[in-house]
A and B are shown apart, each in its own frame.
Chain A
Amino acid sequence: MKTATVETNRPSPRTVDLPTLLAVGWVLLMLFTALAAPLIAPYEITSIDLRHRLAPPVGFGGTMLHALGTDDLGRDVASRLFYSIRTSLLVAFGATAISVLVGTGIGFIAAYFRGLVEHALLLMIDVQASLPFLIVALAMLACFGNSLTLFVALMGLYGWERNARLARGLAITASAQGYASATRQLGAHPLRVYLRHILPNSAATLLVAATVTFPEIVLVESGLSFLGLGVQPPMTSLGVMVAAGREYITRASWMLLAPSLVIVMTAVAVSVLGDWLRDKLDPTLK
């Protein structure tokens, strides 16, 4: 009996199709690159080599010296790309974590207090939902300046309203179920009911929501960095690289194409992965 249950729960190999496998592969590659950037980058990202300015990549007349070519200051594109992936993923991970935590917190508070508090929070949620995040982020950036910590915190506001709405719904549904009222009637503190009982039961859905938020944050971050208002030099991110590549679009398109490809592939891979996770973890969310 026990083995039978295990058998049915295990995903059969056929349910993982080729796109999902490729997506997993790409995400793992990106994670590896982000973690190992200092080890695998052949050059410092700021080391300038003026004799090899705008050198093309291998296959387009370049040499293995700079496998992905160099930029306008002769800096190695591959090295910069690795560090950009590191920065962009760091920002996106931090921001996604903040977004889910803040959203869940607000959603649970709304679900617990109901009444006026809930209405006020729902109004905030409506307002945020009706404003494009990029515009809000630009306004905030104008004020708070631009250290990396602040930037991650700002990106963490992305999607909080969606997560809050989701968490509120989950908490309201859960409160109506037997286990929540049982713990409550046993005298558990509301914090305990929410954190020890409702949260674990909502975790799968919230995790799926995070996989939706993550690629979108990658896109917003690269957009802001592209506008020159996100990650600041000497640090580099994918958007910073695209912005630099734009100036040399006629002479050195690799400066532009390498980071663009990474942005697109990562966003596609994570959303494919998210779809798969959703099907696996939460059949109700379809």
Chain B
Amino acid sequence: MSAVFRFAGPKILRAGLSILVVVTFTFVVLRASGDPALQILGPSARAPDLEAFRRHWGLDQPLYVQYVRYVLAALHCDFGNSMLAGKPALQLVFERAPLTLALMLPALALTMLIGIPVGAYAAMHRDTWVDRSVMMLTVFGFTVPSFVLGLLLILIFSVTLGLFPSGGADRPESFVLPVLTLGLGGAAIIARFTRSAMIEVLSQLYIVAASAKGVTWRQVVRHHAFPNAIIPVLTLFGLMLGGQVAGAVLVESVFGWPGIGQLLVVSVANRDLAVVQVILLLVALTMTSANLLMDLLYGVFDPRLRGTNSGSQ
């Protein structure tokens, strides 16, 4: 029990600290610069109106008072109201969240379903033309920005072939192009990573040993090489999530997808601070917990890591 705690404790503490740093950063940067009163009411607003607005939102208080209030409110899941919509910012974000998740989850699945087999296949056919063309393609996979890829897909499949709608989120077909756009770039990264992990594993002595004792190559790959290669790939998942979040902002903009990404862009353009803060915090929270989860799972999958603090040395 204490060994588990010694392994997990510092990681959890670090994750908590990270969240606190993000909260502080968000708060300081968003509050310290610019005057939201002027932004919302416009430059022609009268001074008393500006004053009333600042008082109403607590913008006339010293910064540390605002900060303490903010952190306390955040602990109660109260992130203030959207200045534009007049609704609680959290509610506004949660209304949009299902649509963004409906894009990201299939895209993440696609990333793994394409990336892992392609990478493993390329590794097992190393230095053949298949391997080389896959590697060439993956370079394009992560140098073509998602908004360009999305527009190219629209140009080919909507404008020229008329197969899929170019925007909106109202029909099942609407999902195809945005999910493809979001998934393909990630698949390229996963494919490259799987390939190098697989090549690394295939050169290990235990693979030679397994082959030498007469196990078929198929069995060697399935039971010895692949399970060992897949562990580091899984940890990439946390990193991928960040790329997917950023990609979703652009992809939603390309396809007119009414998710969190569009909400963020509109809120940034209008300096709707409460909403921007909630989204930033939500992203930080998701990413930190995903990374923490991966760290902990890594310890479960790979017992050697747990041993470093206790016993084995």
Instruction: Kindly state whether residue A203 has any CB partner on chain B within 8 Å.
Output: no
Size range of the chain B interface in the assembly: 35 or more
Cβ contact within 8 Å between B145 and A223: yes
> Residue on A with the closest CB to B154?
A249
| B66-100 contact mask (Cβ, 8 Å, vs A): 1 or 0 | 00000000000000000000000000000000000
**Which of B49-57, B284-292, B300-308 sits within the interface?**
B284-292
**Highest count of chain A CB atoms <10 Å: which of B25, B30, B291:** B25
In-complex Cβ contact of B249 among A135, A245, A246 (8 A): A135
Within B224-261, the residues touching A (CB, 8 Å) are 238, 242-243, 245-246, 249-250, 253-254
Instruction: Kindly state whether residue A142 has any CB partner on chain B within 8 Å.
Output: yes
B contacts with A: majority SS:
helix
CA distance A133 to B160 in the complex (A): 34
Within A134-150, the residues touching B (CB, 8 Å) are 134-136, 138-145
Residues of chain A lying within 8 A (CB to CB) of residue B159: 249-250, 253
Within A214-262, the residues touching B (CB, 8 Å) are 215, 219, 222-223, 226-229, 239, 242, 245-246, 249-250, 253, 256, 260
Residues of chain B lying within 8 A (CB to CB) of residue A263: 145, 148
Instruction: Kindly state whether residue A272 has any CB partner on chain B within 8 Å.
Output: yes
In-complex Cβ contact of B246 among A135, A222, A245, A271 (8 A): A135
Residues of chain A lying within 8 A (CB to CB) of residue B291: 130
Instruction: Kindly state whether residue B41 has any CB partner on chain A within 8 Å.
Output: no
**Given A135-B246, A138-B264, A264 contacting B140 (CB threshold 8 A):** yes
In-complex Cβ contact of B145 among A138, A140, A222, A271 (8 A): A222
A268 to chain B, nearest CB (A): 5
Residues of chain A lying within 8 A (CB to CB) of residue B273: 142
**Given A124-B21, A143-B30, A246 contacting B279 (CB threshold 8 A):** no
A contact set with B: CB distance below 8 Å: 123-124, 126-127, 130-136, 138-145, 215, 219, 222-223, 226-229, 239, 242, 245-246, 249-250, 253, 256, 260, 263-264, 267-268, 271-272
B contact set with A: CB distance below 8 Å: 14, 17-18, 21-22, 25-26, 29-30, 32-34, 139-140, 143-148, 151-152, 154-155, 159, 166, 238, 242-243, 245-246, 249-250, 253-254, 264-265, 267-269, 271, 273, 276, 279-280, 283-284, 287-288, 291
